[in-house]
Amino acid sequence: MAAVCDICGKVLRSASAEAMAAHKRESQSCTRVKTKGASGEVARLEEKLRAVIEAGRRLAAHGGAYDVVEANTKERGEVEAALKAARSSTKAEKARVKELAQQSMSAAGWTSALLQGEENRFAKADEGAVESQLAAATVGLVSSAAFREKREELEAAAGAKREREAEEAAEAAAAQQARKRAKKREREKQ
């Protein structure tokens, strides 16, 4: 009968205590499975799998009902499948992070950022925005009343500008409609 190392999980041909002690003492590969880089889900599933395997060993050693053994085998299969899926998703996530890091550190990325210059490095305010005009107009120490007055003045000017632009757009649309009607009348006369 075979024995399983409780540290590394290796299956030994011999079940003797001496063989197990020799394996642990002399083997360079007898180290605990590393879960340092693994996600918490992978570590949790590995621990659950160890518990299910141990329960299966106890059932095999002491004899258990067929239903219980089958349930343990089924649970072991489910946990192994979930662990496999979790490991593959963790591996894929690590690959995506590595690819993203590689892209951000690539010479092409740095070169394109340098060639684009300062214009794309910082967010710029809209030049005609009320806030930027207010900030420019109220540089320095200004009383709250003066600030409020200046803000209302700029907002009123911006509102009037929007109204003028809306009126101009409406006049342009009306003129466009009039031209279309005139062209249509000319075509009908011909």
108-138 per-position pLDDT tens digit: 777 777 777 666 655 665 666 777 777 777 7
Tokens, residue 153: 């003045």
Q: Is 45 exposed, middle or buried (0-12, 13-18, 19+ CB in 10 A)?
A: buried
Q: Do 15 and 61 belong to one domain?
A: no
Which DSSP helix (H) or strand (E) runs through 35?
none
Q: How many domains does the chain have?
A: 3
Average pLDDT, the chain: 81
Predicted model pTM: 0.38
Q: Is residue 53 part of a domain?
A: yes
Q: Do 43 and 68 belong to one domain?
A: yes
Q: Do 54 and 70 belong to one domain?
A: yes
Least confident of 67-76, 118-127, 177-186: 118-127
Rounded distance between C-alpha atoms, residue 143 and residue 133, angstroms: 17
Q: Is residue 156 part of a domain?
A: yes
Q: Do 26 and 43 belong to one domain?
A: no
Q: Do 28 and 42 belong to one domain?
A: no
Range of the domain at 159: 130-189
State in Å, rounded, how far the first CA of the chain is from the last one. Answer: 106
Look at the chain and count its residues.
Answer: 190
Tokens, residue 145: 């009343």
Q: Is residue 117 part of a domain?
A: no
Asked if the model's pLDDT at residue 37 lies above 60, the reply is no
Q: Do 23 and 80 belong to one domain?
A: no
Q: Do 142 and 175 belong to one domain?
A: yes
